[in-house]
Chains A and B, each alone.
Chain A
Amino acid sequence: KQEVTQIPAALSVPEGENLVLNCSFTDSAIYNLQWFRQDPGKGLTSLLLIQSSQREQTSGRLNASLDKSSGRSTLYIAASQPGDSATYLCAVKGGATNKLIFGTGTLLAVQP
C-alpha cells in the first residue's frame, strides 16, 4: 500500500530565503508525482507534475526533482515571498490502483 510522507510538517522562514520541502513515498512504481499548494479554505493549485521518466521540472522560482528509486521528491522554492505562504502537498499516481495518493502536507509561513 502506497504511503506518502512529507517533512517537515511545518516550516517558518524569513522572506528571501531559499527552502526545500521533502516528499517520500514507499512504492516506487509510480506514473507521476505532482506538487500542489493549498491556501486556507480553498482548493488545490497544481504547481508541477513530474512524469516517472523525468528527473525534474521547473516553473519560475519552483523546481521539483524526482528520484524514483529512492522514493523521494523535493520542491525547491527560491527567494521565498510572503505570498508563498500556504500548505504544500505532494501526490503520487501509479501502481495497480492508479489512484492519486496525497502526502500529509507541509505548512509554510514566509515572514516579511
Chain B
Amino acid sequence: KAGVTQTPRYLIKTRGQQVTLSCSPISGHRSVSWYQQTPGQGLQFLFEYFSETQRNKGNFPGRFSGRQFSNSRSEMNVSTLELGDSALYLCASSHGTGGTTNEKLFFGSGTQLSVL
C-alpha cells in the first residue's frame, strides 16, 4: 500500500509569489491534515479536511488556504509569500470514518519550501 505522497519535494520561491503544494493520502483515507514545521516554532497545525470539507483550522493568516478533492487528494496554497513562510510543510492522512479523534496519523515526507 503506497504511503502519503507529497509533491513537490523541494520548492524555491521569491517573496510575493504564490505556491501550491499537493498531498495524495493513503488509498481509502478520507481525512487529510496539514502542518508547518520551522526550527523556531516547531510543528504547527494548519488545517484538516474530511470529505472535501474543512473540519478544523489553525491560527494562520488568510494567505494560507487549502482544499480537498472528491478523491481525497488535497492541496494547500500560500499567497503573497513572505520570508517567514520558509518551512517544511507536512501532510498527514487517516481513515476519518467515525471521526479522527483517536486515529493514528500517517505522514508524508513533506515539501521543503524556501522563500528568497
| A contacts, CB < 8 Å to B | 31-32, 34, 36, 41-46, 49, 51, 89, 91, 93, 97-105
B42: interface (CB < 8 Å): yes
Which of A43, A93, A99 has the most CB atoms of chain B within a 10 A radius of its CB?
Answer: A43
Shortest CB-to-CB span from B29 to chain A, Å, is: 13
Total A-B contacts with CB atoms under 8 angstroms apart? 52
Tell me if A43 and B45 are in contact (CB < 8 A). no
Chain A residues with CB under 8 Å of B107's CB are: 36, 43-46
B70: interface (CB < 8 Å): no
Majority SS of interface residues in chain B?
Answer: strand
Chain A residues with CB under 8 Å of B43's CB are: 89, 91, 102
Majority SS of interface residues in chain A?
Answer: strand
Chain B residues with CB under 8 Å of A44's CB are: 90, 92, 105, 107
Tell me if B110 and A99 are in contact (CB < 8 A). no
Tell me if B42 and A105 are in contact (CB < 8 A). yes
Chain B residues with CB under 8 Å of A46's CB are: 104-107
- Complex formed: what's the CA distance from A102 to B90 in Å? 13
Q: Which residue of A lies closest to B6 (CB)?
A: A43
Shortest CB-to-CB span from A7 to chain B, Å, is: 15
